[in-house]
Structure 1
Amino acid sequence: MNYKKVKTKIKAYHNEGKTIEAAEWLLKMFDIQDHNLKGFALREKADRTCIMLTAEGDFGEQQVIRMPENVFEFSIPLILTLLTHEMVHVRQKSRKPYVEDRLEREWQAYYEMLFHKIFPNYLEVSNFHKKFFAKKLLAITKEWVKVPNYN
């Protein structure tokens, strides 16, 4: 399915107030699914400068992805990439061996956002977002491995 058709379908869901159904459809279309995803929940609207999705649940349990009710007012490639990030967390927290270290979980999720090794079907995000994700990955790497700053 081409991007124009994806955008049209998501816009139709969004206009009908079917945000959760749109997210479920997007995961299915791009084969970003996992039986340990319990479902989606909505949170308050995000402003245009900051959007946050979270995977929530205890280790060993199915996870819920919480997203803003206006999530599909943002770029669809960005949302797909953020959903991929959260789906990595779903796997990390619901399957043994669990990835218990928060920095390791974030590193793996940002790596997936950039290199698409677990979920190879994706839409290309903007260069701005690629650089943002790469900077996050490098910052996490420095914190995780305690790289000294020689400046």
Structure 2
Amino acid sequence: MKSKAEIVQLLQTYHELGQTEQAALFLIDEFELNQPNFARILLREKADPSYILFTAEGEIGEPISIRIPENAFEFQFELMINLLAHEMVHVIQKSKLYSIQIREEREWQAYYEMCFHKLFPKVPNASKGHRLFFANKALEYYNRMPKDGELQQKYANQKVEIERFIASLSK
């Protein structure tokens, strides 16, 4: 695996050449995020630092595309790779194999991954502030699940992990 400095330099070069899709594909390969259900990278309008939107698009059971801002690689590398990993979790979830229908469950799993990198262990941690944001978003989606329902019971142990994670980051 390349060093962070090498990765950042390559991303900067791709960005300067207007090759945002290629930069994203490079990260997907470098951090072993690729999935059989992944179709392609698509671009959307430029983002600003307060709102950077990545989405996984396509019907469950069909190949899924990830749409990213055309200026994604103007932002912090660790945040961008975590956002790509989040969307790649959605690619997995929307595969024929898993077909996870409930949005709250999909988002819970994706934000949990951004905190602990269990599916994608090569993904580096984002900043402490971003990790706190991810963990709180995970709890937000957990709390949107039916109270004491099947999904909350299924993820109860992971919820405890998230709460401990928040506490450790808040010190």
User: TM > 0.5 between the two?
Assistant: yes
For 2:136, the equivalent position in structure 1 comes to 135
Separation (CA, whole Å) in 2 of partners of 1:70 and 1:97: 32
TM-score (norm 1): 0.94
Q: For residue 99 of structure 1, give the secondary structure of its aligned residue in structure 2.
A: coil
For 1:30, the equivalent position in structure 2 comes to 31
Shift of 1:80: 0.2
For 1:110, the equivalent position in structure 2 comes to 111
- Residues 55-134 of structure 1 mapped to structure 2, 5 A cutoff: 55-134=56-135
For 1:43, the equivalent position in structure 2 comes to 44
For 1:4, the equivalent position in structure 2 comes to 5
Shift of 1:95: 2.9
**How many residues in Structure 1 have an aligned counterpart in Structure 2?**
147
Q: Select the structure with the greater relative contact order (CA < 8 A; seq sep ≥ 6).
A: 1
* Residue type of the alignment partner of 2:44: R
For 2:166, the equivalent position in structure 1 comes to none
Q: For residue 121 of structure 2, give the secondary structure of its aligned residue in structure 1.
A: coil
Shift of 1:83: 0.3
For 2:151, the equivalent position in structure 1 comes to none
For 1:18, the equivalent position in structure 2 comes to 19
Separation (CA, whole Å) in 2 of partners of 1:10 and 1:4: 10
Separation (CA, whole Å) in 2 of partners of 1:45 and 1:22: 15
Q: For residue 48 of structure 1, give the secondary structure of its aligned residue in structure 2.
A: coil
* Pairwise CA RMSD: 1.0
Once the two structures are superposed, residues 105-132 of structure 1 have per-residue CA deviations (whole angstroms, 9 ceiling, x without a partner) of: 0000001111111111012210000100
Unaligned segments of structure 2, at least 5 residues: 149-171
Unaligned segments of structure 1, at least 5 residues: none
Separation (CA, whole Å) in 1 of partners of 2:142 and 2:60: 23
Separation (CA, whole Å) in 2 of partners of 1:50 and 1:89: 19
For 2:165, the equivalent position in structure 1 comes to none
* Residue type of the alignment partner of 1:114: C
* Residue type of the alignment partner of 2:147: K
Separation (CA, whole Å) in 2 of partners of 1:75 and 1:41: 20
Shift of 1:26: 0.6
